[in-house]
């Protein structure tokens, strides 16, 4: 029995993933109303089909590594990691297709250390050095490399005429020539004032809230792209869209209306995706394709171990 004063809901999002809405950090962004200071749901209506490119990436750690100084015993953490980025493009009256897949493999070393791993069996982890000796930083550096590759691909595709939906925020996009929208499906901060935040779950599918500015470089709004179901969390199906401020408010409003109308048609379905409905079907298709491009995790780990053994054997001789 739930405590009095609280409503009980279920969360369909798979527990093995990070919760989609926790709001552990409140009010950390400076936001200002730009489209309207009052909460009024906008319903642009079903959008006509339009060419969209959904950009995302995936990464994994193939093997944990250490470099230990023989003379001092000083140890520096590293990882052999792989990432892949790409896009699923959808066009009116044509099947979705995956394009522009790119794979990167890095040997990330902390403490300023360097060193490749491989090539061996066609796999080569290239040296990538970071200054920090924090054992958790190599994984963060691998994540950063993937995010940078996603942003680069998003910028390329936007320049060739696609309306790009980049999975995640826009904090790495630079020198854009066309509109790119950030798609944020998990929420950890209350960006809006409490009286506005509490009304966001009242949005219906295909509706959005007014646009707000986030600092000087981005606009943002929340939209519902899927229904939570009879016992689902009121935040299920709510996503946050971001738009670069450099193109102006009118362009952001236009993109927000178009995406709010069309994205419900791409919402994930629960029997196929454990993060439905927020994880869009084109993104799920892309994740599967990128997983194939990365190849077998077991094989990569075995090859990395063999490469370490070969280097150790060579050092002993």
pLDDT (average), residues 238-264? 96
pLDDT of 16 > 70? The answer is no
List the single range of 24-33, 119-128, 141-150 with lowest mean pLDDT. Answer: 24-33
Q: What pLDDT, on a 0 to 100 scale, did the predictor assign at position 172?
A: 84
pLDDT of 141 > 80? The answer is yes
Residue 193 burial (CB count, 10 A): 14
Q: What pLDDT, on a 0 to 100 scale, did the predictor assign at position 3?
A: 57
> What's the rounded Cα separation, in Å, for the pair 154 and 289?
18
Q: What pLDDT, on a 0 to 100 scale, did the predictor assign at position 29?
A: 59
Q: What pLDDT, on a 0 to 100 scale, did the predictor assign at position 263?
A: 96
pLDDT of 26 > 50? The answer is no
Q: What pLDDT, on a 0 to 100 scale, did the predictor assign at position 6?
A: 76
pLDDT (average), residues 86-100? 94
Per-residue pLDDT of 198-209, as tens digits, reads: 999 999 999 999
Per-residue pLDDT of 170-181, as tens digits, reads: 988 877 889 999
pTM for the model stands at: 0.91
Per-residue pLDDT of 261-285, as tens digits, reads: 999 999 999 888 888 899 999 999 9
Q: What pLDDT, on a 0 to 100 scale, did the predictor assign at position 1?
A: 42
Q: What percent of the chain shows pLDDT beyond 90?
A: 72
């Amino acid at each position: 029995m739930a405590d009095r004063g609280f409503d009980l809901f279920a969360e369909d999002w798979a527990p093995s993933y990070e919760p989609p809405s926790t709001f552990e950090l409140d009010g950390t962004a400076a936001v200002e109303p730009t489209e309207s200071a009052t909460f009024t749901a906008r319903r642009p209506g079903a959008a006509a089909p339009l060419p969209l490119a959904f950009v995302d990436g995936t990464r994994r750690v193939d093997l944990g590594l250490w470099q230990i100084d023989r003379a001092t015993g000083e140890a520096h953490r590293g990882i052999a990691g792989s990432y892949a980025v790409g896009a699923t493009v959808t066009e009116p009256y044509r099947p979705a297709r995956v394009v522009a897949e790119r794979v990167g493999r890095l040997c990330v070393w902390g403490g300023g250390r360097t060193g490749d791993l491989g090539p061996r069996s066609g796999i080569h982890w290239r040296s990538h050095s970071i200054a920090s000796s924090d054992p958790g930083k190599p994984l963060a550096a691998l994540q950063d490399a993937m995010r940078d590759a996603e942003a680069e691909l998003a910028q390329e595709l936007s320049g060739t005429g696609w309306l790009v939906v980049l999975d995640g925020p826009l904090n790495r996009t630079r020198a854009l020539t066309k509109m790119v929208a950030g798609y944020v499906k998990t929420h950890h901060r209350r960006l809006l004032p409490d009286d506005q935040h509490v009304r966001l779950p009242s949005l219906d599918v295909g509706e959005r809230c007014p646009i707000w500015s986030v600092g000087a470089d981005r606009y943002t709004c929340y939209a519902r792209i899927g229904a939570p179901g009879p016992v689902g969390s009121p935040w299920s199906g709510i996503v946050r869209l971001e738009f670069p401020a450099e193109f102006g408010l009118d362009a952001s409003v236009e993109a927000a209306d178009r995406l709010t109308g069309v994205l419900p048609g791409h919402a994930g379905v629960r029997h196929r995706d454990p993060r439905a409905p927020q994880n869009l079907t084109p993104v799920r298709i892309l994740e599967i394709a990128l997983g194939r491009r990365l190849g077998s995790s077991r094989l990569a780990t075995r090859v990395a171990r063999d490469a370490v053994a070969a280097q150790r054997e060579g050092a002993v001789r």
